[in-house]
Structure 1
Amino acid sequence: MKEFIDYILQFGTLNQHQLDLIASKTTVLELQKDEYFSEAGKIAQQVGFVLEGITRVCYYNNKGEEITKYFIDENNLVVDMESFDNDICSNAYVQAITDCKLLVFSKKDWKELLETIIGWDAIVHRIISKALRQKVERRSPLVSEDATTRYLMFLKIYPNVINRIPLSYVASYLGITQSSLSRIRKNIR
């Protein structure tokens, strides 16, 4: 819980009573590797905070190929915000790619916090804004760079991820084949 409190306090100030209320609304969820936190075609029902492990957001393109959009590692929120906020079916999966331990808020409890704690909505807004900025900063360069540069950027963006996840997911994220990724890795060493 301390990790989550430290995380949210980067975005605003809360008193101990407010922090206690937030803590009282969380449950711990353990996901085994390959289990889903949320699924395409369903409405996201919870907000999570990754305490341990790595999740990925992925979807299937019109050819049926699995595409990894991004990774979420420790000390970050995980939620399909569009689905969660608007009660619409998600178009992506959030999958544990290692065993994961998350702090989880139900939709009911999250909304109760928004209605009860003055300033909570501003903190959540700052968290979401930062996450969106990071997403754009991480994805934009991947569009125009060559595969080797994209891989080197991946290593900078996700320094704690590369040795913990299957290379097939990294290749999917970078938009290259696994054999291309193997060649790039071999040439860099």
Structure 2
Amino acid sequence: MEALINLILQFGNLNKQQIEFLLSKVELLELKKDDYLSEAGKVPRYVAFVLEGVFRFCYYNNKGEEITNYFVDEGNFVVDNQKFESQMVASEYVQAVTNCKVLVFNKKNWDQIDNTIVGWEMMKANMVKKCLTLAMERRSPLVSEDATTRYLSFMEAFPSLINRIPLSYVASYLGITQQSLSRIRRTIR
């Protein structure tokens, strides 16, 4: 709970009563590896803060290939924010890559926080902005770099993940085959 509050307090001030109110609206959820926090074709149910574990955002392209779009690990929020806020059907999956423990807010409780804590809307907007900026910083180099540079950028952006997630997900994220990734890994060791 402390990690969640510390992150939130980076975006604004909350008094003791507001923090207690916020914590009264959260619940602990454990997901096993390969479970879904959110599924394509369904309305996302939670805003989650990752205490332990790694999630990935993924989808299926028009060829039926699974594409990993992004990873989220400890100390970060994980949510398909636009679909959650508007309560629309998601087009991506949010899947646990490892066993995960998360603190979750359902839509009703998230809205109650919004309606009760003065300034929460601005704090929330700044949190979303930070998450989107970080995602863009991590994704944009992947467009223009060669495969080896993309892999090195991945290791720099996600240093703790390389030994925690399947290489097939890393290859998908980088837009290369698993065989290419194996070759790259051999050449840079």
Q: Common fold, TM-score beyond 0.5?
A: yes
Q: Tell me the alpha carbon deviations over residues 107-166 of structure 1, each in whole angstroms, 9 at most, x when there is no partner.
A: 000000000000111111111001111111111110010000000000010011110000
What percentage of residue pairs aligned between the two structures are identical?
Answer: 59
Tell me which residue corresponds to 1:25: 25
Aligned to 1:140: 140
RMSD: 0.5
1:166 aligns with 2:166: yes
1:18 Cα deviation from its structure 2 partner: 0.3
Could you say what secondary structure the match of 2:59 adopts? strand
Q: Give the equivalent residue in structure 2 for 1:43.
A: 43
**Given residue 99 of structure 1, which amino acid in structure 2 is its aligned partner?**
N
CA distance in 2: counterparts of 1:65 and 1:106, whole angstroms: 31
1:1-189 alignment, distance < 5 Å = 1-189=1-189
Aligned residues: 189
TM-score in terms of structure 2 length: 0.99
Return the letter of the residue paired with 1:22: L
Mapped to 1, the partners of 2:85 and 2:13 lie a distance apart of 24
| SS of residue in 2 equivalent to 1:102 | strand
Amino acid of the residue matched to residue 31 of structure 2?
Answer: L
SS at match of 1:69: strand
User: Secondary structure of 1:95's partner?
Assistant: strand
CA distance in 1, matches of 2:120, 2:15: 11
Deviation at 1:86, TM superposition (A): 1.2
Q: Mark the runs of 5 or more structure 2 residues left unpaired by the alignment.
A: none
Q: Cα distance, 1:49 vs. partner? A: 0.3
Amino acid paired to 2:25 = K
Gaps of 5+ in 1: none
